[in-house]
Structures are given as C-alpha cells and as structure tokens.
Structure 1
Amino acid sequence: MKSIILPILFAMLTANLFAQKQTFDIVSYNAPTDWTLNQGNDYISYSRIDGASWAQIAIYQHRNCEGDIQTDFDKDWNELVASNKTISSPEKTEPKTAEGWTVMSGSGVWQYNGANVASILTVYSNNSICIAVLCNATAQPYLKNYKELIGSLDLDASSVSETNNQTNTETETNSNPNTNNTTISGLWTNYILETTGYNVGGRPQYTAGYLRKEYQFNADGTYTFRNKQWLTKAPDITFLYETGTYSVNGNQLTITPKNGKSGFWAKTNSSKEWGRMKKYADYKLEKTTYTFEISIDPTYGNTIILKAGNPTTRDGGQFNAPNEHYEFRYSFRKEESLIDNPPGFKINAAN
C-alpha cells in the first residue's frame, strides 16, 4: 500500500469536486458519502467499516504555527500519528505553495490486530496558523475518498485574527482558575478484564473478573472518582470512591479531594451482583498535582495521561517503565459508566 500513497497525494492537491460543501473551523470540504460522522472537541471525523476493512478521516481544528511547514508537520505527525504506535518513519512530499498556503503530506504504515494500516497526514500552513487532515486506512479504495476530500478543501483564515483578539480579551478579564476545566470534562475510564495468565492461539484467556476505575470531571470544577474490583482470586469485592474539586492550569491538573471512603463487600454467584457489606477501610485523601496531556485518536478514542511523581491512593502504583515518572492513562468514554454503586451506598458530593 505504501508505494502508491505518495503519487496519490501529489494528484490530490489539484483535484476539485462540485458538491454541497460542509464546514468545520476554517475548512470547507466535500464529506465522503455513506461514512459515519463523529464530532470531537477539536476535530471532526468520518469513518467507514466494510467487513474486515476500515478507514477513518479526521480534520483537526487550526492551531498556531511553530515557524515553518516542516516543523508544523513533524509536530502533528508526532502527536496525531506516531503517539502510542510503532510506525515507520514518514515518507514525505516536497512542500507546495498556492494562494498563501503551503501544504506538505507524509505517510507511514503500522499494524493493528495483525493488519497493515496506512496513515496519511496532510498539513496546511499560512505561516500564522496551520491545520491537519489525517487518514487511517486498511485498504487502497479508501485512499480515493481521502483524495477527493483533500481535493475539495477550501481554507478561509479571515476570521481567525478576530477570534484570537476576542479570546485574548476574555483571557485578560476572566480570573476564574477553572476556565480551562471544560477541556477535560467528561468520563475518563480505565477498565481492565482479569485474565487467567494463559494464552490460547496467541489470545489471552479471560475470567469473569474485572478492575474498573474512572474519573468523572464536571464542567463546574467538581469530580467523582470510583474504583471497583471484582477478581476471581480475591475473597471480596473492593469499592472506593472520592469526590472533590479540580483545576486546570496549562498542562497542570490539581485534584483536591473533599470526601472519600473504601470498603469490602461479599460476593454472590454473579460478578454483576453485590453481597453484604463486610467492613470499611481507612482511605487517605491526597491532594495531587499531575502533569497531563490528552492523546487525540479519533479511531480508537482519546486518552488522558496523568503523570505524577509518586503513586497515589486513587490511581495506584506504576504501570509504565520503572525509570519513568508515574503515568496513569484513562480513556474518554461516551457511553454510561460500567461501575455501579453498592446497594444503599450514597456518594457525598464535593462541598
């Protein structure tokens, strides 16, 4: 697949289609027909699945340029494509300039569930702002859809300076420390299925057990953390919760707990049921400041990465490399939580 990607990219830069255009951010474009639309916080994506083949195309909201098209491309490639993947080095096109915009594309190949996935990133820059369009595809026919979308793009940056001026004014007059809380608001989960420790045909064998922990960050600056563990080798069900407030300052997330409790419940014959309450346990409330980042992945879902200097009561111990900072990952979840509270158990909200 890789050998035919770049010729297609060269051809797509001059293509144009005539159809009803959609608009996102500063981009007008022809959306692919019969693809599923998904709107994220800072991107819009279209996906399609045909049996074992699939593809996804995402347009990302504009950002400020880093200085030149090569630097802008490398930044987007590292953050949007290469993050959390083992992927080949990008094969790049030479930059081309037209109507005040410079465009550069690159492609690489990686594997997912044994299948080759081609990632094609196209970045546009006018030396002030830049915008990225990404395609992940497992089959060649999807590249034609990407070509058609790229060929239909119209970019209009005329409203950006006005918007930036308005944003700067709001920043100067708004002293609320929780202004950026909406960037992480929502449900972030870490759900793990218990395994037997054995593989059959290269696939892990699962038990009925599970470990589930999650943060619910609310836009008003409050949060709830819950952790439920139902493990086949443990005699009891473990459950803990915590509520409090949080604030975001740049890439720093500070969590200040107000209430919390943990305890043990007896099991029944079903992993979906609660037995009787056995005892409560001591639970330490810890105020923690994390360095955080959000990994944007329209295909598999976004991930928030919390980095702390030490293990925490909430997040647990170290799950990444021993010589690195403690790092905890939670995936954004659009569906309802899979954690249920014990019968009659009431969570005390943050004051």
Structure 2
Amino acid sequence: MLAETHFIINNEQAMKQWFFIPIMLLAGIQASCQQKELFDMVAYTAPKGWQKSVKPGTLSFTKETPKGFCIITLYKGVEAGIDAQTNFDISWQSLMQETLGTGKATMQPGSTDNGWESRIGSAPFEKNGIKGAAILISSSKNGKLINISSMTNTDAFQKEMETFFGSLVLKGEATKANDLGPDNIQRKNTAAADKSTGKPELWMNRRIATSIYANPKTLDDLYLIYPNGDYFPNVPYEGLINVNRSFQPESWGKFTMQGNKGKFKNKYDEIAVTKKSDIQMEKDGYSYGFYKFLPVDGLRIEGAYTHVSSDWGKDPKLNYLSDPGCQFVIHFKKDGTFDDKGIFSTNKNNCIGGKGTYSIEDFTITFRYNDGRVVYRLFTAPPTRNPATYNEAYYIGHTAYYKKNNNLPYGGR
C-alpha cells in the first residue's frame, strides 16, 4: 500500500519531528464545539481531506502527498489489565513489533487524566522499503484499553495531526466533555441518574422473527428493568459494567404496570404484557412472553464448562475437550478461582487463556487473570432457573456454556 519510494526519508528526522505530536492528546483532550463523530469509545472530528477506512475493529485516516504519508488508526476498546504500562507493552508488541517490525519503544512522558492512564511510545520502522516513525498511545481505565497509533515519514501533516489529536474525547471523561447522543452531538451526561434507580431486574423477551427468505426462528432479547420503570432492551455481552442512561440512550424506554397489565414503550416499540407470575409475563396476542432471570450475586460454581456441546462427558467424540492445551473450556471452583483453557480464543492457533479469580454481581461475571487482564461478561442461569440449585448450564456473554457430565473420567489434567 505504501511501497512508493518517494515517501522514504530519514528515520531520525521523522522521529524527532513527530515525538511531540501525541503529547497534545495527553496534555488535554478538550471538549469541542464542533459536531463530532463516534467510534466505539472515542469521539473525534474527522480530518478534512483524509481517506477514511472503517473495519470491524479499527477506524483509520490516511493521507498521501508527494512529501510523504501519514496513517492514524483508532482501535476498538478491549478488556485489559489494571496496569497501564503492561497494557502498553502488550499492545506495542502486537501492533508495532509484530506488524511493523519495530524494536522496543522509546517511552515518552505519560499522564493520568479523569481516570484514563495514558502511555506513549515510539520507534523507527522499516518494512517493504518504507522507512518512518511509529507512535502508539495506550489509554487504560477500569479494565478497558484504547489504542491509537500513527505512522509517518514526514512532518508535513503536523498541523492536521495536532488538530485531530486535540479533537479526541475518550468516553467517560465527564469533566471535559459530555457523552454523545445518537446524533453524535454532545449532550448532557445522564450516567449519574442511574445511581438512584436501584438494582435492575433482568428479563428475556422471546419472540419469533419471520422473513420471506428463511423459516421463522426464535430470538431472545434481554431487557433490564429498573425499579423506577426505566428499561433497556439491548443488554450487551459485556454485562452491566458500563450500562447507564448514557449508554445507547435512544434505546431506553419506560415500563409501566397497573394491576397485572403492563406496557413497555420506547421510541421504537410498544409491547403490552400480562403478568402471570413473579417470573413470567405474557405478551398480549403472542405465543411467547417475558421470562425472568433470577439473581446471581455472589454465586460460586464448581465444574468444567464448554460452549461446544451439552453432550461433553456423554459423547466420546467430545473427549478431546478434556485434553491438555488450548480448548474452548473453563474450569470453575467454589473457592472463586478459574482455569480458562481458551474460551475467548478465536482459534487454537491464537489461544488466549489463563488462571485467576472470578466474582459475580449484577448479572456480570468479572474474570481477573493472574497476568493482570480483567474481562467482563454478562452472566445468568437460564431464565426462571435458580442459579444456586441449577448448574447444568450458564450463559456467559450471550453464549450457553454446558457443564461436563462427570459420569466419564476426566482426562488431560
């Protein structure tokens, strides 16, 4: 993509010219009166005249001229450990060393601002005949990590870079900028409103989806219902850790109940229900209804679980799940520890597992790995089931994990 030789200049020149640019970000991510766009946890003002490229996990801006090139990339926020420097080191290795072949990063002064701990490093690179400088900014807060990288071989874009970095707003920096509404325009932060609403209930809305192109199928939407009637119909797989009225504000609505008759209403939908019991509401005119998830606070689990199949331990073809090494399996113990064999890995060639401790509260399980990583996931038993007495399956994220049937001997450990 950047193999044209007229882009090549001296590495040291690029490094010296560009070291100070990201300090703009660390020195103060200011609120801007301009309309902003939103990518994951970062609000920004797009640089004019730059080519924009959006992929599932990244947003990039590129500019090329006869003087050189510059690429700025924002990475989607991920779960990470609590140590900002460790988060930077891991990110530098995967994003810079393994991708561009850089050496170790030369660290610049970092900062802590409104809970975000930022670390910045840079190094020269040379790949496919291209020489330049690579810079990485890693910002960590509450187990979340945001990476922003840039690579260039010239100082020709200095002013544009300054303007772009100065426009960035990391979500949650309420003292500098309020959260963004669905129209990507700044508005009043409403996160504090949830502090007075109390613990929510979690319900499953089962419905039938129809299409002229496929057979009907059942879908399950998870609804949070707060004591004051506020409800949210799109509970994320990360759990409730960041859910408040500023999270997808356009989706929130009001649930009202008079006697045994109730109604869900937001800007997109209106659903009438009839309460049948404390754990079930029928939808008027429909076959399926709402089913309640029972609380899981403080739950402790014992056993091995996998999302591969509910027949593990019964079907000999699944015995491989008990083998050592990377498997889509997690072992829980009632002492609050776990051994993750790779349940969050996309494939066995890129296995991400580890041991640590877990805690469960507000339908969210927190995995704290011994290497410092912290992962949050939605956690429930099947709806209407008591999680203290039913342990055959749990939902982690939106995925069912089935307990191994221990009638067969457990191998591989």
User: Could you tell me the TM-score, scaled by structure 1's length?
Assistant: 0.46
Structure whose residues are more often strand by fraction: 1
User: Could you tell me the TM-score, scaled by structure 2's length?
Assistant: 0.39
For the pair shown, which has the larger CA radius of gyration, 1 or 2? Answer: 2
